[in-house]
Structure 1
Amino acid sequence: MERMVGTVVRGIRTPIFREGDNISDMVVDSILKASEVEGFSINDRDIIAITESIVARTQGNYATIDAISKDVYSKFGDDAIGVIFPILSRNRFAICLRGIAKKAKKIVLMLQYPSDEVGNHLVNIDLLDEKGVNPWTDVLTENEFRNYFGYIKHTFTGVDYIDYYKSIIEEYDTECEIIFSNNPKTILNYTTSVLVCDIHSRARTKRILKANGGVKIYGLDDILTSSIDGSGYNETYGLLGSNKATEESIKLFPRDCQLVVDSIQARLKEKTGKTVEVMVYGDGAFKDPVGKIWELADPVVSPAYTKGLEGTPNEIKLKYLADNNFAHLKGEELKKAISEHIKNKESNLVGAMEAQGTTPRRLTDLIGSLCDLTSGSGDKGTPVVYIQGYFDNYTK
């Protein structure tokens, strides 16, 4: 009988992962058990995706606010620190801010507006128009911001992040001044010692600051790049990609992920004879239409993946073929014509009209988004996702 199903995505339930666990064995065992219980086979080019969280947990890649504080102080000493462009997040940044503030004498906190880098809004952009405020040129003090816009709570969290971040800083008797600007150079009017907290635009921000008189310029990716008194670390991303673990600690983005994906691929090959692809994923890369939040608060969607996940899709738009090339056909003739066209498609369809609308993003970004939506971030208990048929097309 003709196959009637394309891509199938399964969230795989696993044991709770702890520091020191053998993640490769646990993931492979969970996949094989799920295969047996649910009655699906393991095939070549299936995909196993595992959340970055369980990799970091098994590594014990955690750090306390004391470790953060010690590293920040080693770089800035008693200087007033400009903390600029942080995202508005209790989970992602608040605990990091505790570590930054703990030993600091003064922090000048510079927030982007109307929203942060990933779309968390401080104020609705329509209200800026109403008040005649230009976010690209106008620099606002805290009082000026309040006079214009009042006290606004986040759409989803119900938190006033201005007050929340200020309270964290002042909890340590650290002086706090808050300003609002989208121009990195603004902070240099207050201090030349700056901690850059944006994620995807951090290289540009650092470059601008260094070119315009910044003296001590570091980013979150420069903090905890090595262990502090036995803490976890990430040599590439530092504090970027970290999550709240407790009120006093964070879980860092995992390191050495390539070893993990290669090991899982090899172990499953030993047990089944099949070559599956494996990747570690964090945040997906998609935007919420209500809150306007771009999900990607991690520095990358996937920090490691096996070779078969390199590249982008090379796909033809079926409806384009049906409406243009083969508009005169229908039924079995149409099916055969489209199938034959797909079998003989060019190896690189970039720019081809028949590929328009397929948006060839990187495979790992597409698959990571699929997995993030499948596993969620709550209590589903499926930190491993198993995907079948992703590389199939209409002819298979």
Structure 2
Amino acid sequence: MERKVGTVSRGLRAPIIREGDDLKKIVIDVLLDAAETGEFEIKDKDILAVTEAVVARAQGNYASTAQIAEAVKAKLGGETIGVIFPILSRNRFAICLRGIAKGAKKIVLMLSYPSDEVGNHLVDIDLLDEKNINPYTDVLSQEQFEKLFGKSKHTFTGMDYVNYYKSLIEEEGAEAEIIFANNPKAILNYTKNVLTCDIHTRVRTKRILKNAGADIVLGLDDILTESVSGSGYNTKYGLLGSNKATESTVKLFPNDCSDFVKSIQSEVKEKTGKTIEVMVYGDGAFKDPVGKIWELADPVVSPGYTDGLEGTPNEVKIKYLADNDFADLSGDELKDAISAYIKNKDSNLGDSMVAQGTTPRRLTDLIGSLCDLTSGSGDKGTPIIYIQGYFDNFTK
């Protein structure tokens, strides 16, 4: 009988993961136990994905604000530090800011406006037009900003991040000054020692600041790249990708993810005879149309994946074929014609007309986004995702 179901994404429930747990064993046991219930059969080219949060937790990859402070002070001098372009997030940045402030005498916090890098708005962009403010050239003090626009309120949470961040800095014993600008060079009027906190634009920001004469330029990816007084660390991303763990600690992005996924793939092959693909995923790469927030606050969607997930989709647009090449066909004749076209398609369609309109993104970004949406960010209790049929097409 013809199969009627295409891609299926399942959230697999797992025990609560603690530091030191044998995560590889747990993940494989969860998969095999779920398959034994009869809901699905493990097949070649299935995808098993594990959220980065439980990988880092099992690794014990944590750091305290005191350890962050020690690293910041050692690398930036402990006097006046310009902290620029952070995202507006209690989960992602607030605890990091506490540690940074603890390692300095004064923080000049420069916020991008009207929104941060991932779309959290400080002010409606239409108000900038109304007040004749150019965010590309105008540098505003906190007093000027609030006189023009009032207190900032986050679209969904109602949080006033400007004053919240200022209070965090002051609570850690540092002086706080808030400015608003989008040109990285604006911070150099206040200090030559800069910690840039943007995620996806950090390489460009560092280059601009170094070329403009800054003395010290570091990013969050340069803080905690090695252990400080017993802290966790991430050799590639440092503090980027970290999350709040407690009021004084963060969980860092996990290390050694490539080794982790390959070892799972190997053991599943040994136990089942099937070659599945495995990945670690974090934030998905998608945008909220109401709040305009881009979800991706991690440096990458997937910090580790098996070789079969490399590359981009190679798909044809069925509706294009139906409306163009086979516009005169219908019913089984149309189905057979499209099936034959798909079976014989080029191995690399590139920018051919028949592929236009398919999603031109990396497989890991697409699949990681599907995983993030499936597992959610709350209490579903499914940190492991199992996807079947992702590499199928209309002919399978």
Q: Settle same-fold status: TM greater than 0.5.
A: yes
Deviations 1:108-151 (A, max 9, x none): 00000000000000001011111111101111011000010001
Q: Which amino acid aligns with 2:322?
A: A
Superposed, which structure 2 residues align to 1:289-328 within 5 Å?
A: 289-328=289-328
Partner in structure 2 of residue 239 of structure 1: 239
Partner in structure 2 of residue 65 of structure 1: 65
Q: Which amino acid aligns with 2:151?
A: Y
Deviations 1:317-367 (A, max 9, x none): 000000100011111111110000001111111211111100221000000
Partner in structure 2 of residue 100 of structure 1: 100
Deviations 1:26-61 (A, max 9, x none): 001001111112431000000001000010000000
Partner in structure 1 of residue 353 of structure 2: 353
Partner in structure 1 of residue 140 of structure 2: 140
Partner in structure 2 of residue 127 of structure 1: 127
C-alpha displacement of 1:172: 2.0
Deviations 1:221-243 (A, max 9, x none): 00000001111000100000000
Q: Which amino acid aligns with 1:290?
A: V
Distance 2:174 2:19 in 1: 35
Q: Which amino acid aligns with 1:196?
A: T
Partner in structure 2 of residue 45 of structure 1: 45
Superposed, which structure 2 residues align to 1:1-396 within 5 Å?
A: 1-396=1-396
Q: Which amino acid aligns with 1:43?
A: K
8 Å contact 2:72–2:78 — kept in the other structure?
no
Q: What's the secondary structure of 1:90's corresponding residue?
A: coil
Q: Which amino acid aligns with 1:347?
A: S
Distance 1:18 1:79 in 2: 38
Q: Which amino acid aligns with 1:390?
A: Y
Distance 1:95 1:3 in 2: 50
Q: Which amino acid aligns with 1:32?
A: L
Distance 1:134 1:298 in 2: 29
Q: What's the secondary structure of 2:113's corresponding residue?
A: coil
Deviations 1:198-244 (A, max 9, x none): 00000000000000110011110000000011110001000000000
Distance 1:116 1:310 in 2: 30
Q: What's the secondary structure of 1:157's corresponding residue?
A: coil
Stretch deviating more after TM superposition (373-382 or 351-360): 351-360
Q: Which amino acid aligns with 1:310?
A: E
**Ranges of 4+ aligned residues in structure 1 off by more than 2 Å:** none
C-alpha displacement of 1:270: 1.1
Stretch deviating more after TM superposition (110-119 or 96-105): 96-105
Q: Which amino acid aligns with 1:127?
A: L
Distance 1:260 1:59 in 2: 11
The Cα RMSD (Å) is 0.7
8 Å contact 1:281–1:372 — kept in the other structure?
yes
Q: What's the secondary structure of 2:91's corresponding residue?
A: helix
8 Å contact 1:24–1:267 — kept in the other structure?
no
C-alpha displacement of 1:282: 0.2
C-alpha displacement of 1:259: 1.1
Deviations 1:297-334 (A, max 9, x none): 00000000000000000000000000100011111111
8 Å contact 1:261–1:304 — kept in the other structure?
yes
Q: Which amino acid aligns with 1:116?
A: D
8 Å contact 2:239–2:252 — kept in the other structure?
yes
Q: Which amino acid aligns with 1:68?
A: I
8 Å contact 1:9–1:387 — kept in the other structure?
yes
8 Å contact 2:98–2:168 — kept in the other structure?
yes
Distance 2:331 2:346 in 1: 25
Distance 2:158 2:18 in 1: 32
8 Å contact 1:314–1:360 — kept in the other structure?
no
Q: Which amino acid aligns with 1:317?
A: K
Q: What's the secondary structure of 1:325's corresponding residue?
A: coil
What percent of counterpart residues are identical?
72
8 Å contact 2:194–2:217 — kept in the other structure?
yes
Unaligned 5+ residue runs, structure 1?
none
Distance 1:19 1:172 in 2: 28
Q: What's the secondary structure of 1:244's corresponding residue?
A: strand
Aligned residue pairs total 396
Unaligned 5+ residue runs, structure 2?
none
Distance 2:18 2:288 in 1: 32
Distance 2:291 2:49 in 1: 27
Distance 2:114 2:153 in 1: 13
Deviations 1:227-276 (A, max 9, x none): 01111000100000000000000000000011110111111111100000
Stretch deviating more after TM superposition (35-44 or 194-203): 35-44
8 Å contact 1:279–1:306 — kept in the other structure?
yes
The TM-score with structure 1 as length reference comes to 0.99
